[in-house]
Amino acid sequence: MSSEPVFVLPGDHIDPSLIPSHPKKPVRLGPGLRHVPPSDLLPTLAGQLVTDRQKNAIRVETSNGRYIPRVGELVIGTINKSASEVYFVSLSDYTAPALLPQLSFESATKKTRPILAPGALVYARVTLANKHMDAELECVSASTGKADGLGPLVGGMLFTVSVGMARLLMMPKKAQQGKVVVLDELADAGLQFETATGRNGRLWVDSDSTKTIIVVGRAIQETDQKSLGADEQRKLVKKLIKELS
Amino acid sequence: MPREAEPSLSERTFTLQAISEGLRLDSRKLDQFRPLELSFGDEYGVADVKLGKTRVLAKVSAEVTVPFSDRPFDGIFQITSELGPMVAPSFEVNRPTETEILLARLLEKTIRRSGALDTESLCLIAGQKCWSVRVDLHILSADGNLIDSSCLAVVAALRHFRRPDTSIEGETLTIYTAAEREPVPLSWLHSPFCTTFDFFGEDGEIVLVDTTWLEEQLRVGSVTFSLNKHGEICQISKLGGKPVEATLIIQCAQMALAKSKEFTDLVDARLAEDAKRRDKGGLMAELSAENER
Amino acid sequence: MASPTAELSHLPKTDGSANFAYGGYTITAAVNGPVEAQRRDENPFEALVDVNVRPAAGVGGTGERQLEAILQPALRHLIPVRNFPRCVIQVTLQVMETPENAYVNPKVMQPRLNLGIIPALLHAAILGLLTAAVPMKTVASATCLVITDADGSSVKVDPTPAEIDQARSVHVLGFTAGRDLLLAESEGSFSADEWATVLQTAEKVCCRSQEAGGDAEMGGYGAESENVQQFMRSVLEAKAAEGLHWR
């Protein structure tokens, strides 16, 4: 499924053998690649070229950079202000805010909409993202009308992580695929907490104990900043648990 | 217009809650500084200070110019500091924000007005030629506590700097290049250091030292002491904020004195290491043209 | 001349940062973007590339503005600006060190065009942009050359500041990875033929492929001047491998 690590710089020529060629499916270009008509594929980011032959997709993997909204991704946003029918939500510092309709919450009607103060956090899904318009979000699934975990996040604490780390945390099997074992280790050590991760590099942690939240946040941030492997993560967790008691 | 980044409600509530329980996000104690690193560049007069994620670089340079007409016996000494877009996109070039102005004023009062550098020693020919020493403070990354780290960087850089040697014979002034004669240090009288204390809580009763950017946004008051290791105070500033118990201020002064002694030892140690690094073979003592006093 | 060195992502609060040192020049680049542009700078069709050059000593003056004016179109050409309308990509270049000349006392406040620093600024900016994951069309590198009258009219690559002062003309040329000329600045007196030689030499130096040694033409000057594009590739590859160690 994944090929040998091939490092590319923007403008590099890609070896045709790395481009997946399924007889029926079209090639899907992920982030970091540019199509130059008629048939050239050029990388636009410096990173590892990853080919997924099953999905017939190809992309360039990087772990740093600023978040750029893409449709379908789950993000944690901060409410800036509210206008007539819509909230302005900031997904990352210094970028243009995204729009979240005030009725886009579970069982919200014109009379019973949730009031969110500036500074409140929401867990939302991106519904519209292109370069010409402000991004748009929703806190409820458009088809079923259920929230599925989306909506305001109350209390807890927000930590910033890199975009790459956020992606690892959101993998379905993070311990195996992403080699992020910190959260499991901390839970095994008896700490009780819940987390929510946004693709825009934000991690929300909540627990009854203040110390637990601090420990979880520190563990993830250190794993991120120092690119710790699985064993090093276990050592870090042991150290933090010892400091706790 | 890129807005100033602001912390979210969760961050605010949680951080204040943690502080009221005596906890900080990086598990430091309330009166503990972040790991402080001071290093010097290859050129004389370049000091790089890292305090957690805050990073500042001070560079000292000197050139010969005409002294001010109202002060013919003094040299010129100025400190410039500028926060640019490197720190955050909300800082524009040439548009000083409140942070920048307060920082510049504090450094001015602490280092210039206290006479840490003897400006009379910078005079070459009265009324005609003098040294103009300038310190440029470059803020590379700001995560709270710019004041303490900036002051440390400026003082360290000034003590590290060497200006070209000069000699006067009758009316002629000769300025030697580095290749002709070893440069000489500036005439330094005392080393002032700043320590900032931030107040939190209902009555400002909780005191934190060396706050990160997030903690700084949530403080209700702050006081900055500038003093040297002998306990001579250069300035104290508490610019507004919640009124605080006087006894607390006295306690902070004591802590500031202890901190100042610590900083002085740190700078002395780093300067000694740097001198040793440059002085391979012990030739420095022979090359110096200064008389033994 | 010592090999180039670089430190990537060393500033924690910027989107991308790089510290590049070569030939006595050390430059720190900080890149933020794409971020929202101010009303007055907003362009509805493309991103604005904002370059700021801050000198080591003194506040920026006319010399720095000219350096920015040279670098901005070069960087703008490398970034697909039409992908980010109404945004700004800020590149701040802080000069940390310049080569010391022990025979001359430095004058701080004289505005003068310093062509020798342009390659270092460009390389630091590109490394900064790549660590910030700002999409780029291609990478580029630049080199500085002088024409001296020392042994007849000869071209020297990577001159020292003393050599620049004494040379008859100074040239800076930048090429993209695809061998296209990206920037060309010259100062001094020279003939069109001399410039053609300079162009050829610079192209060889910048776009040299990976063959190690053995190239007879490179013997005169190529041995000292490193292939910066190769260096950038290797340092970025190491950084990427570190961040993606879990793969």
Which of the four pLDDT bands, split at 50, 70 and 90, describes residue B232? Answer: very high
Question: Where does a domain end: A154, A177, A205?
Answer: A154
Provide, as residue numbers in chain B, all residues whose Cβ is less than 8 Å from the Cβ of C60: 93
- Residue of chain A nearest B24, judged by CA positions: A214
Domain count, chain C: 1
What pLDDT, in 10s, does the model give residues B38-76? 999 888 999 999 999 999 999 999 989 999 999 999 999
pLDDT: which is higher, C112 or B150: B150
State both tokens at B116: 């840490």
| 3-class state of residue B252 by DSSP | helix
Q: Do B14 and A210 touch (CB under 8 A)?
A: yes
pLDDT on residue B268: 94
Domain that holds residue A162: 158-244
Q: Do B18 and A117 touch (CB under 8 A)?
A: no
Q: Give me the CATH number covering residue C138.
A: 3.30.230.70
**Domain co-membership, A172 together with A236:** yes
pLDDT at B289: 52
Please tell me the distance in Å from C19's CA to the nearest CA on chain A. 17
Q: What is the pLDDT of residue A129?
A: 92
Chain A CB contacts of B25 below 8 Å: 214, 217-218
CATH 3.10.310.10 fits B16-279, yes or no: no
pLDDT beneath 50, residues of chain A = 1-3
Residue A206, helix vs strand vs coil? strand
Positions in chain C whose pLDDT score sits under 50: 210-225
For residue C72, being part of any structural domain is answered with yes
Co-location of A108 and A95 in the same domain? yes
Question: Is residue A2 one of the residues assigned to a domain?
Answer: no
Question: What is the per-residue pLDDT across B81-132, written as a single tens digit (0 to 9) for each?
Answer: 888 888 888 888 778 888 889 999 999 999 999 999 999 999 998 888 999 9
Mutation site for B-interface testing, chosen from A157, A205, A220 by largest number of B Cβ within 10 Å: A157
Residues A145 and A119 in one domain: yes
Phi, psi of B197 (to 5 degrees): -115, 130
Tokens of C44: 């509805």
Subunits with at least 3 CB pairs below 8 A relative to chain C? Answer: A, B
pLDDT > 90: what percent of chain B? Answer: 66
Q: How far is the C-alpha of A31 from the C-alpha of C82, rounded, in Å?
A: 16
Query: What is the structure's pLDDT at A31?
Result: 86
- Could you say which residues from 58 to 117 on chain A have a Cβ atom under 8 Å away from some Cβ of chain B? 78, 80, 93-94, 117
CB under 8 A, 24+ apart: contacts of A134-138: A134/A96, A134/A97, A134/A98, A134/A99, A135/A69, A135/A91, A135/A98, A135/A99, A136/A98, A136/A99, A136/A100, A136/A101, A137/A75, A137/A77, A137/A89, A137/A98, A137/A99, A137/A100, A137/A104, A138/A100, A138/A101, A138/A104
Q: How much is the pLDDT for B281? A: 59
**Shortest CB distance from B18 goes to which of A80, A153, A210?**
A210
For chain B, give every domain's residue range.
Answer: 16-279
SS3 B95: coil
Q: What is the tens place of the pLDDT at every residue in A179-230?
A: 788 888 888 888 899 999 999 999 999 999 999 999 999 999 999 888 888 8
Q: What is the pLDDT of residues B247-264, one digit of tens each?
A: 999 999 999 999 999 999
Within-domain flag for A32: yes
Same domain, A25 and A93: no
Read off the pLDDT of residues B130-144 as tens digits, 9 standing for 90 and up: 999 999 999 999 998
Q: Which domain holds residue C63?
A: 5-235
CB contact under 8 A, B61 and C106: yes
Residues of C in contact with A178 (CB under 8 A): 246
Q: Is there a single domain that holds both residue A50 and residue A123?
A: no
Query: CA dist B57 to A8, B47, B140, C128, Å?
Result: 34, 6, 7, 19
Please indicate whether, in this complex, the C-beta atoms of C102 and B177 are within 8 angstroms of each other. Answer: yes
- Flag whether A66 is in a domain: no
pLDDT one-digit tens code per residue, C74-128: 999 999 999 999 999 999 999 998 887 666 666 655 667 788 899 999 999 999 9
Inform me whether the pLDDT recorded for B15 exceeds 50.
yes
CATH code, domain with A131 = 2.40.50.140
Q: Which residues of B touch A94 (CB under 8 A)?
A: 2-3, 5, 88-90
**Across B14-28, B151-165, B275-289, least confident range:** B275-289
Pair of tokens at residue A172: 């379905």
